[in-house]
């Protein structure tokens, strides 16, 4: 019993066009799948690299100094809606930029959730009163809307995952203020130490070399 009747079929020469058309179609399909797979791999690698840069920016000395200024102001009794404009605005703009990238589909929200959901939620709680005041004063209800949106997305993702966190609890943030200040100062101290130039003792002829160099400079 024949499952496939090949009688009258030509694979080479006249009448074989159907066969080579089918082969070409298969080759094109395989090539397309290979290209699509490579694009997915490249996109994933790009997304991880971008998320790595975002996380590094958040951990940078520049942002640490802005965070410290806000935290110290809160420790000294400054009202949340009256935080220092420079530092508070810098942090708010950072998160608004991240939210904008996620909202536009350039950064996977799942990566942000895994890496930065705690600071995102915590800092929105910290800066929300300040942001709401600016919205009223500027007459711009959309100010930092991406930041607010991202914080709400992180909240929904935690809820969907059955995660109970206290990142956005005002009382918890207030009670851990001293610890947050200490940690941020530690981050700045480490960054400063990494920039420190360490001068180590040279070889035994180091004094002679230094003297020779001094003579050359004076002669020049």
What does the pLDDT read at residue 211?
Answer: 52
pTM of the model: 0.70
Sole residue written with tokens 């610890």 = 179
Average pLDDT over residues 185-203: 79
Average pLDDT over residues 3-15: 54
- What is the Cα–Cα distance from 97 to 112, expressed in whole angstroms? 13
Q: Which residue has the higher pLDDT, 190 or 46?
A: 190
Residue 137, pLDDT above cutoff 70 = yes
**CB count in 10 Å sphere of residue 128:** 19
Residue 82 DSSP symbol:
G
Task: Categorize the per-residue pLDDT at 16 as very low, low, confident or very high, splitting at 50, 70 and 90.
Answer: low
The candidate with the shortest Cα–Cα distance to 181, out of 75, 28, 57, is 75
What does the pLDDT read at residue 208?
Answer: 54
Coil/strand/helix, residue 122: helix
- What is the Cα–Cα distance from 105 to 43, expressed in whole angstroms? 12
Residues ≥6 apart with Cβ < 8 Å to 97: 146
Average pLDDT over residues 107-115: 92
């Amino acid at each position: 019993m024949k499952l496939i009747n090949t009688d009258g079929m030509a694979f080479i020469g006249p009448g074989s066009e159907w066969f080579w058309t089918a082969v070409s179609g298969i080759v094109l399909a395989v090539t397309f799948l290979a290209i699509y797979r490579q694009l997915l791999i490249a996109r994933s690698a790009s997304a991880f690299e971008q998320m790595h840069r975002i996380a590094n920016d958040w951990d940078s000395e520049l942002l640490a100094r802005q965070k410290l200024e806000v935290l110290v102001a809160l420790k000294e009794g400054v009202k949340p809606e009256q935080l220092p404009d420079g530092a508070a605005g810098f942090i708010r703009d950072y998160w608004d930029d991240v939210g904008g990238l996620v909202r536009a589909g350039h950064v996977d929200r799942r990566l942000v959730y895994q890496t930065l959901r705690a600071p995102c939620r915590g800092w929105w709680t910290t800066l929300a009163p300040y942001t709401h005041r600016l919205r009223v004063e500027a007459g711009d209800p959309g100010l930092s809307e991406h930041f607010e949106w991202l914080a709400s997305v992180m909240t929904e993702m935690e809820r969907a995952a059955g995660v109970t966190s206290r990142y956005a609890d005002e009382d918890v943030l207030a009670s851990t203020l001293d610890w947050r200040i200490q940690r941020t100062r530690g981050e700045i101290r480490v960054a400063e130490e990494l920039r420190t130039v360490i001068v180590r003792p040279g070889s035994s002829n180091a004094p002679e070399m230094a003297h020779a160099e001094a003579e050359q400079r004076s002669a020049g």
